[in-house]
Amino acid sequence: MRILRHSHSKTAGTRNTLQSPVRTVRGIAPLTRLVLLVRAGGRCEFDGCNEYLLEHHVTLKEGNFAQLAHIVAFQSGGPRGQWKRPRAINDASNLMVLCPSCHKLIDDNPALYTRRTLEDYKNRHETHIRHVTGLRPDLKTSILVFTANIGKQNVFIPFDQMLEAVSPRYPVSRPGTVIDLTQIHVDGRPSFETASETIRRRMDRLYDAESEAQTVKHLSVFALAPIPLLVDLGARLSNKIPTDLFQRHRDTEDWTWKRKGKPVEYEFRRLQTGGDPQKVAIILSLSGPIRSADLPREIDRTFSIYEFTLKGQAPVVTFLKTKRDLENFRGAYQMVLSTLMRDHPTLKHLHFFPAVPAPIAILCGRELLPKVHPELLIYDFDKQKVGFTFQLKVN
């Protein structure tokens, strides 16, 4: 709705002041105007516009070029005026800051720009402004996005979900570093090795002396890919730069760690003692169960087989909810590696059978010490062959 202003006139030769027929009925309190402009950051709140409205776009002269638009119209016959009317039509909750073009657009097309649509635009914009104005320079992070198709499932990670997940940190660039392998059909050892070489090249660039990650000294990792590639990525992450890993949660379909939840505990046990100390296999049954019978034939009676699983609960894909659960895994996994090296001091290759979430797969690679721990021979479940097949060597 257009904002009408005061208008007064005098008729010459009379003593009486005649008021204009335009009545001041849409007056918006000065404090409300100030609150709206501050919440909007001085920018148009129409989704995707974001025009700065306290400066003329051509002359750069400072001024207030914003318009305050009613979401539910001032009068019932106006745009969106048929909706249930707010108690205070001029309240900040019913007003949004717009540039003149966007103001005209929404009022000319009320069926397209409904009350709910405009309220979503307003809330999303004002939440973003409040977030970015509350950030401090020491909370910068460099984002690493790693994607590869899982089977025939396409993979995409929305940037706004990453922005929410890293809070109170904030990314120094958009979209950050992207390693996109979705164009590679990852199916079998040759394609896994091709993908691994691509990861190596991109990660070498990530840690160049002048890179964003080296400048910021903090990394946030968002990854969705087949498990062998996630482990490979983790092995290439530097321990010299603090790194946060994030998990996509199926219930809320976002990447923000839960703040509450019963802590997850882990347990480690030997399932089979083999006759050859150089032959060791480990099953990680966390997001799904893996039985000894599921292992390929080459993992025979000569192998010692260990299991790392959840304590007191069955493996389930949604178990990893909080950042604390991930840190607990890190400590338990380090203990597992130490135990294996104690019991098999000459071990050179560890046959690795994981059913784990993405950030745990990354940690499985990142926590390896190249000169201390054995190489991981990583197996992946092949639905076509209905079993595990060796795909990639890491470390």
Q: Residue 21: what pLDDT? A: 33
Over the chain, what is the mean pLDDT?
88
Average pLDDT over residues 43-59: 94
Domain finish residue from 189, 216, 245: 245
pLDDT at residue 17 in the model: 37
Q: Give the separation between CA 395 and CA 376, rounded to whole angstroms.
A: 7
The answer to whether residues 337 and 303 touch, using CB atoms and an 8 Å cutoff, is no
Give the chain as a 3 state SS string: CCCCCCCEEECCCCCCEEECCCCCCCCCCHHHHHHHHHHHCCECCCCCCCCECCECCCCCCECCCCEEEECCCCCCCCCCCCCCCCCCCCCHHHEEEECHHHHHHHHHCCCCCCHHHHHHHHHHHHHHHHHHHCCCHHHEEEEEEEECCECCECCCCCHHHHHHHHCCCEECCCCCEEEECCCCCCCCHHHHHHHHHHHHHHHHHHCCCCCHHHHHCCEEEEEECCHHHHHHHHHCCCCCCCEEECCCECCCCECCCECCCCCCCEEEEEEECCCCCCCEEEEEECCCCCCHHHCCCCCCCCCEEEEEEECCCCCCCCCCCEHHHHHHHHHHHHHHHHHHHHHCCCCCEEEEEEECCHHHHHHHHHCCCCCCCCEEEEEEEECCCCEEEEEEEEC
Least confident of 25-29, 92-96, 329-333: 25-29
293, amino acid identity: A
218, 315: one domain: no
According to the model, what pLDDT value does residue 137 have?
A: 65
pLDDT tops 90 at residue 109: yes
Give residue 18's pLDDT: 35
Query: Is the same domain home to 125 and 147?
Result: no
pLDDT value for 239: 87
Compute the distance between CA of residue 357 and CA of residue 369 in angstroms, rounded to an integer.
21
Residues 97 and 148 in one domain: no
127/15 same-domain check: yes
Given 133, 160, 182, which residue is the final one in a domain? 133
Is 208 inside any structural domain? Answer: yes
Q: Which residues form the domain of 232?
A: 138-245
Please give the pLDDT value at position 236: 94
Residue 174 confidence (pLDDT) above 90: no
Reply yes or no on whether the pLDDT at 9 is more than 50: no
Distance of CA 162 to the CA centre of its chain: 2
Cα distance between residue 316 and residue 135, in whole Å: 36
Same structural domain, 153 and 117:
no
Mean pLDDT of 41-66: 94
151 and 117 in a single domain? The answer is: no
Please tell me whether residues 221 and 307 are part of one structural domain.
no
CA dihedral 169→145→257→237, nearest 10 degrees, is -80
Q: Is the pLDDT of residue 83 over 80?
A: no
pLDDT at residue 91 in the model: 93
Within-domain flag for 100: yes
Same domain, 46 and 88: yes
Question: What pLDDT score does 87 carry?
Answer: 82
- The pLDDT, as a whole number, for residue 279 is 96
Residue 221 belongs to domain with CATH number: 3.40.50
Tens of pLDDT, residues 261-320: 889 999 999 999 999 999 999 999 999 999 888 899 999 999 999 999 999 999 999 999
Looking at the fold, whether 284 and 379 belong to one and the same domain comes out as yes
Structure confidence at residue 85 (pLDDT):
86
Is 252 domain-assigned? Answer: no
pLDDT at 216: 85
Q: What is the pLDDT of residues 374-388, one digit of tens each?
A: 999 999 987 766 789
Radius of gyration of the chain from Cα atoms?
Answer: 30
- Confidence band of 151 (pLDDT split at 50, 70, 90): confident
Say if residue 67's pLDDT is above 60. yes
What pLDDT score was predicted for residue 19? 37
Query: Is 257 part of a structural domain of the chain?
Result: no
Query: How many structural domains compose the chain?
Result: 3
Higher per-residue confidence, 112 vs 85: 112
Name residues whose C-beta falls within 8 Å of residue 91's C-beta, 6 or more positions apart in sequence: 32
Last residue of a domain, one of 133, 168, 184: 133
pLDDT of residue 179: 94
> Would residue 254 count as lying in a domain?
no
Same-domain check for residues 231 and 276: no
Residue 3 included in any domain: no
Does residue 260 lie within any of the structural domains?
no
Q: What separation in angstroms does the CA of 201 have from each of 16, 82, 177, 350, 371? A: 84, 59, 13, 25, 22
Residue 182 and residue 154 in contact, taking contact as beta carbons nearer than 8 Å: yes
Q: Which of 43-57, 186-200, 350-364 has the lowest average pLDDT?
A: 186-200
Residue 16 has a pLDDT of: 41
User: Which comes out higher in pLDDT, residue 4 or 80?
Assistant: 80
Amino acid 6: pLDDT: 37
In a domain, 2, yes or no: no
Token code pair at residue 42:
């001085």
Residue 26: pLDDT band (50, 70, 90) is low
Q: List residues bridging with 254 in a β-sheet.
A: 249
Mean pLDDT of 239-256: 93
Between residues 14 and 240, the one the model is more confident about: 240
Answer yes or no: do 152 and 212 share one domain.
Answer: yes
129 and 142 co-located in one domain: no
| Bond from prior residue into 171 cis (ω within 30 degrees of 0) | no
| pLDDT of 385 | 64
Residue 331, pLDDT > 70, answer yes
What pLDDT does 347 receive? 94
Quick one: how far is CA 205 from the chain centroid?
22
Q: What is the pLDDT of residue 108?
A: 95
